Amino acid sequence: MGDTATHRGGFGTHGGESGAFIERAFRERIVLVGVTLDAADSSRTHADLDELAQLIDTAGADEVGRLVQRRRAPDPATYIGKGKVGAVLEVCEQVDADTVVFDDELSPAQQFNLEKMLGRTAIDRTVVILDIFAQNASSQEGQAQVELAQLRYRLPRLRRGGGFSQQAGGIGTRGPGETQLEVDRRRIQRRIHKLEAQLRAIAKNRSVQSRSRRRSAQPTAAIVGYTNAGKSRLLNRLTDSGVLVQNRLFATLDTATRRLELPGGERVLLTDTVGFIQKLPHQLVEAFRSTLDVVAEADLLLHVVDAAGPDADAHIAAVRKVLREIGAGAVPEMLVFNKCDLLDGAGLPLSADKGAVSVSAVTGEGFDKLLAAMADELRAHAETVELLVPYARGEVLAAVRRAGHVLATQNDEAGYRVQARLDAASASRLSEWVVG
């Protein structure tokens, strides 16, 4: 099946120890394949393929066809079965496709068999997402995280000749054989160990910074959400910062932290984070775990949702699934429905409970309400304490104001008698002056 000699596809191929994907000299022509398993809703499959088409476009390729199939279970050899492979090949030849992309992750054996039968590169959603991350990573840490995820994906897929793809212009069709395969495997394992050590060192430094922030007693909030929900634009609007904003998937891979002052005078450290997506590759979750620690350690999560986007409820569920996976499932969460200026009179999604806030990061609509809600939420998790601060210790009074919300201040014979809402860490740090 297929003519591998004239096939030009190589989407998703990456080589060397740089971890970077190859530079494309053309926009590849892609056929998408989705499978509805057992009693699952076929409309979900079509929605996932629409999203995969967006990912393909972001990665720099073009969709030229798609096929869907319903199966009771994946075929162990080809995922879709031999008969459906023939149908996919027929479509590929009709539209002159270079590559076939499956919405679900393929096993190494399935990928090998599909490429052999189709005569062209067969990859999955994971490779496309890895490709986009590779294009967008800019910091040293981000690049290391992406390369680590790529290599973890690539290692079990090494084949004779060391190529990632069986086709791709001959990669995988030449080489000395098993000896070279073992050399490549050891080389990749060494690189993985080096990257893991590098990221552990970065994580250690971030842990020191996190402890320093805790000692400053400033509460922290993390902006989380589906990719392209408007998280970076929200951070810019709230803090007047200059974080990169682009209308594309996964534009933000590196965290950015800014200081925000709430209506009651409290200061909070607000961090923008990488966007999530359905079927987010576990290799990326593991590689970015050190970066995502800031989410698990936050006092409050601003869960940003594209109010005007398709299937907002599914996006919310996908984000919450990743939050549980990284140990942030119990962190207090506030739903923030962004892009409300694009609703055109339509209501908010079903998940918009009474605690949700609707805003527009473009127009600024709803931001006063958002700031007030953030202050209320942070105060709700604080305790009311009474402190007696000597008149000569003005710096302590200032620390109380920075750490929490001062409810009342009275002049006493011994000093300032202050009632304030403080989180547990701040109350403990200021325990010397706590009297009630």
CATH number at residue 73: 3.40.50.11060
| Residue-wise pLDDT tens digits, 207-248 | 776 665 555 557 889 999 998 888 888 888 888 876 555 656
209 contact partners, CB below 8 Å, separation of at least 6: none
Tens-digit pLDDT profile for residues 119-130: 999 999 999 988
Residue 248 shares a structural domain with residue 161? no
Could you tell me whether strands 267-272 and 220-225 are parallel, antiparallel, or unpaired per DSSP bridges? parallel
Whether 198 is covered by a domain: the verdict is: no
Q: Are 105 and 124 in contact (CB under 8 A)?
A: yes
Q: Which two tokens stand for residue 345?
A: 């009179």
In which domain, by residue range, is 411 found?
A: 382-433
- 191 with 275: CB under 8 angstroms? no
Of the residues 185, 204, 235, the one at which a domain ends = 185
372 and 403 share one domain: no
Give the pLDDT of the chain (436 residues) as one tens digit per residue: 444 445 556 554 443 334 434 335 678 899 999 999 988 888 889 999 999 998 998 888 999 999 999 999 999 999 999 999 999 999 999 999 999 999 999 999 999 999 999 999 999 999 998 888 888 777 788 888 889 989 999 898 887 544 444 344 433 333 444 567 888 889 999 999 999 998 888 878 777 766 655 555 578 899 999 988 888 888 888 888 765 556 566 766 667 788 888 887 778 889 888 888 888 888 888 877 777 888 888 889 999 999 888 788 889 999 999 999 888 988 899 999 998 888 766 555 555 566 789 899 888 889 999 999 998 888 777 778 888 888 888 888 888 887 777 888 888 888 888 888 777 777 777 888 888 6
Q: What is the CATH number of the domain that holds 422?
A: 3.30.70
Q: Give pTM, 2 decimals.
A: 0.76
Q: Per-residue pLDDT tens for 187-205? A: 999 999 999 998 888 878 7
241 domain-assigned: yes
Among candidate residues 379, 407, 423, the one where a domain is terminated: 379
Question: Which residue, 391, 402, 346, 9, is CA-closest to 170?
Answer: 9
If asked whether residues 399 and 363 sit together in one domain, one would say no
Q: Is residue 289 classed exposed, middle or buried when 0-12, 13-18 and 19+ CB atoms within 10 A define those classes?
A: middle
Using alpha carbons, select from 349, 274, 339, 283 the residue that is nearest to residue 316.
Answer: 349
Residues 153 and 231 in one domain: no
Same domain, 133 and 255: no
Question: What's the total number of domains in the chain?
Answer: 3
CB 313 within 8 A of CB 291: no
Kindly tell me the sign of the dihedral angle through the C-alpha atoms of 73, 75, 81, 84: positive
Residues 300 and 142: their CA atoms lie apart, in Å, by 24
Q: Please tell me whether residues 290 and 402 are part of one structural domain.
A: no
- The closest alpha carbon to 230, from 245, 243, 219, belongs to 245
